Chains A and B, each alone.
Chain A
């Protein structure tokens, strides 16, 4: 999240912070590999103490809100392997706790037991990956699994949990469910009558 290395948690909307990544730092001697973006972090929507972090080519899981972490997939980079940080796994957690992880080679894996075991799914089409705009999985409200294939155009869509895929390149097809990222990067509801939005131009509106 910052030039400071590691994962930090704030319980007061950003006023004070606590470092939550000591276990990961102990497990990865190649510290410069511990970099990530927000799509590499997922919280179980039903059990918010279950956290997942796809960093340094591995997947880490916490079952206690980030206090402790266990490596659940992959092996740590070798000591001294600091020159080329890897693209980590981009993660998404479904409403039922199923976790999807897309690696830097666009291989998609799923875990249905909170990270204990992982199964490889069909590779989504055209999911090219890059450091600037890494591809990432996400889920629609009806459970449809999607992979944003930037820099490829369109979305890869799976209605059977990642076994088969189709491409959808029509721009407005998903506008009722997915906010257009250029118009509103994220929307948050403050109170029932108030909605606040942050755009990709770092502007906040209500």
Chain B
């Protein structure tokens, strides 16, 4: 195991989180509104906050 984040999942509940990988190899793990990003094959993780890093778009 290379990373664990807080969660409230238990059998029978939907897991409210996810994992995504960008073309350049960045990995994003999200659970319970906590978002961490990795760019070195799982060695180090940086926390990001969507609440402070978004724009309104169109």
The answer to whether A binds B is yes
A204 touches B55 (CB 8 A): no
The total number of A-B Cβ pairs within 8 Å is: 128
Q: Does chain B have a CB within 8 A of A194?
A: yes
The CA of A10 and the CA of B54, in the complex, are separated in Å by 9
Q: Does chain B have a CB within 8 A of A163?
A: no
Which B35-54 residues sit within 8 Å CB-CB of chain A?
A: 35, 37, 39, 41-42, 48, 50-51, 53-54
Closest to A204 in B: B3
B54 touches A19 (CB 8 A): yes
Q: Does chain B have a CB within 8 A of A14?
A: yes
Which of A50-58, A110-118, A182-190 is the interface stretch?
A: A182-190
Q: A19-B55, A205-B2 are in contact. Are A13 and B14 (CB under 8 A)?
A: no
With a 10 A CB-CB cut-off, give which of A4, A37, A132, A200 has the most chain B CB atoms. Answer: A200
Question: A23 — which chain B residues lie within 8 A by C-beta?
Answer: 58
Question: A133 — which chain B residues lie within 8 A by C-beta?
Answer: 12-14
A183 to chain B, nearest CB (A): 12
- Which among A12, A132, A191 is the interface contact of B14 at CB below 8 angstroms? A132
Per-residue CB contact flags for chain B residues 19-31 toward chain A (1 = under 8 Å, else 0) read 1111011111111
Range, interface on chain A: 35 or more
Question: B6 — which chain A residues lie within 8 A by C-beta?
Answer: 202
A198 touches B19 (CB 8 A): yes
Question: B4 — which chain A residues lie within 8 A by C-beta?
Answer: 201-204
B48 touches A15 (CB 8 A): yes
Question: B9 — which chain A residues lie within 8 A by C-beta?
Answer: 200-202
- Which among A13, A134, A194 is the interface contact of B28 at CB below 8 angstroms? A13
B11 touches A182 (CB 8 A): yes
Question: A134 — which chain B residues lie within 8 A by C-beta?
Answer: 14
* A residues adjacent to B (C-beta < 8 A): 1-4, 8, 10-23, 37-38, 67-68, 132-134, 151, 181-182, 185-186, 188-191, 194, 196-198, 200-206
Supply 9 A–B pairs (Cβ within 8 Å), ascending by A.
Answer: A4-B51, A14-B26, A133-B13, A188-B21, A190-B27, A190-B41, A202-B17, A203-B4, A206-B42
- Beyond the given A19-B54, A185-B15, A198-B29, please list 11 additional residue pairs across the A-B interface where CB-CB is below 8 A: A13-B21, A13-B26, A13-B37, A14-B30, A14-B35, A14-B37, A18-B54, A190-B25, A191-B25, A196-B21, A202-B7
